[in-house]
Amino acid sequence: MANALAVWLYGTRVAVVEQERERLRLHYTPEALERYALGVPLLSLSLPLTPRHYPHGVVRAFLDGLLPEGEPRRAIAADLIGEAKESLDLFGDKAMPLRTVADFILSRDA
């Protein structure tokens, strides 16, 4: 089973980020697809609402954009979990089981 991270927006689980064999992908939930219009930039301009999965490159860029850069990022990773290989690692069980960013929440409750 893939490593998964839920994305919550205003109390609704709107997306799931999965990591399998070090590849990330994101898909919107049926609840998000029912509640919001297709094409709406729900989480990011680079991730408009669609029933299709988003591949590794765009998902990694999205998660990387939520985290600090450079030395602060390395320090957080070292303090929390040692050395993180992927952006998703910084949101892991040992790291940040819950992370609030802007109006949405990232949670291991996938």
pLDDT in tens, 76-102: 666 655 555 555 554 544 434 334 455
**Domain total in the chain:** 1
With H, G, I as helix, E, B as strand and everything else as coil, classify residue 37: coil
More confident residue, 62 or 52: 52
- Mean pLDDT (the chain) is 77
| Residue 4, C-beta contacts closer than 8 angstroms, at least 6 positions apart | 16, 17, 18, 19, 108, 110
Query: Is the pTM above the cut of 0.85?
Result: no
What's the pLDDT score for residue 46? 94
With H, G, I as helix, E, B as strand and everything else as coil, classify residue 25: strand
Range of the domain at 26: 3-107
